[in-house]
Chains A and B, each alone.
Chain A
């Protein structure tokens, strides 16, 4: 079962919900931090990192001894990652999308592939909770290929909780597609609602059931609640604004540990999600 936690707007509490749900469920779940640009879940789960793995994407390597400078490679490349200049082939590796078109089109077999470092995958655990995060190399522009690698490394036998990046474009899609349920974390403010609507549109495009957590539920206004009702989005948990929670968060402390009465509420949150998935015909994965 894969539950992806998203929001549209940043800073609404995705990481808080992901980590606290994982802690409430305990051993047997796996938490994937797919916000590879700014991964934070490890700061709160505090797993012991057992190993790291460098992740690369393929980019072309041109053998100039075989190259006839026919320019077929630069012609096929839609991303302007190759340029043939005189007796040289320039590869602009940061523009390459790793489609392999240049290698396939080269009539001389002069192109093979080497790697561009995307970042790292880190594997760890805490109290039986599995943990994987991706850490994008600073300067690397493309996060979706790394997010896909984090997803691919997950253990399909476990309950997977994904901490998704903010926004509604390709990185979020990479963190949500193939999930059994999307849990949207929002706050009842105009910014929260506006970005939630965009994120819900993205989820509907993917055809995945979703529900809401409303964080800092007593600030702002009631429009998020009205929207949820109109759109038939179940509100699965509300968390009031509590300065003690905000201060605990600032120090890397978790709600279920600091305020034990919340443990059961996070377990119930998961049970509600499980019921919705079962009613929809069960999880696509174990």
Chain B
């Protein structure tokens, strides 16, 4: 099953707006929101939830005050400063290592599994969508990303979909690592700013570890044409296909306010044509071949 994952490094470059626009153009795809930490794709897709399940993350320590003798073993062993002088566990600090649980001489510490969020299979006007909501201040976002991607894959195979379109998270840490492993190709959305190119370079370095093909498009390119050229040069140097440029267009924000994709808002515009051309290039790219052959020639260097 082919899967394109849309990433950026820097936040706010237009990943979700473009993912939604691609969803409107794709025929027979499954959508997947892998930005579980601050998921926004559902605001444009208005998914109707068909199936919902709890996401069980790690466990956390819980001290039973009736059994605790205040010996202090747990405080001494905890490297995360999660246990107070009053022998209460700070759930935000607790790493879930369970060392206190195993060493407590009174067996006074329980280790209940935590419900860290929930995930959903939904219907949208553009096809099925797998998405999730990570609980506030929770850990294990990488684990939840892996879960929604796995579910999206199963669903896509079951429904005979052509591909999966995955909206990825910003950054280069654990949720991003979980988002890009095994992707057919990455679409990197970059804005032409000093921070945009800096962050792109770091996520490209990460992607190079995973030997995944990459493609890049510059959003809001007219804010800085010189920087746009620098980004495209960098892309070519790293063996990343240049898909094209999208102009800075307030229509993205206006359509977002109405809960629509760019292609459902107002009259056809030049911006739409730019996005359509980019989508056509993605679909035609050798790494997206339908034979399931990994395109080793186009992996990010």
Q: Which residues of A are at the interface with B, using a C-beta cutoff of 8 A?
A: 8-12, 15, 37-38, 40, 43-44, 76, 78-79, 97-101, 104-105, 136, 138-143, 165-171, 173, 177, 189-191, 194-195, 198, 201-202, 205-206, 219-221, 243, 246-247, 249-252
Contacts and interface: CB of A to CB of B under 8 A. Distances in A.
B137 A139 contact: no
A243 B256 CA distance: 20
Contacts, number: 181
B77 to A, nearest CB: 6
Q: Tell which of A141, A170, A173 has the most Cβ of chain B within 10 Å.
A: A170
A201 B92 CA distance: 14
A76 B9 CA distance: 36
A249 B37 contact: no
Given A43-B198, A219-B250, A37 B172 contact: yes
Interface stretch (B202-210, B237-245, B293-301): B202-210
A169 B223 CA distance: 32
A205 B136 contact: yes
Contacts of A165: 171
Contacts of B97: 78-79, 97, 99, 101
Given A38-B202, A40-B199, A169-B141, A76 B95 contact: no
Contacts of B172: 37-38, 136, 138
Given A143-B174, A168-B136, A169-B139, 20 more contacts: A10-B10, A11-B10, A37-B173, A38-B170, A38-B171, A38-B199, A38-B202, A138-B202, A138-B209, A142-B174, A170-B138, A190-B256, A190-B259, A205-B137, A220-B256, A250-B191, A250-B194, A250-B196, A251-B193, A251-B227
A38 B10 CA distance: 7
Contacts of B13: 11
B11 interface: yes
8 contacts: A37-B176, A43-B194, A104-B103, A167-B141, A202-B136, A220-B256, A247-B224, A250-B227
A78 B59 contact: yes
Interface string B217-261: 000100110010000000000000000000010100100110100
Q: Tell which of B38, B205, B224 has the most Cβ of chain A within 10 Å.
A: B38
Interface residues of B, number: 60
Chain A, interface SS category: loop
Interface in B6-36: 9-13, 16
Contacts of A97: 95, 97
Given A11-B13, A170-B137, A246 B223 contact: yes
Contacts of A252: 193-194
B205 A138 contact: yes
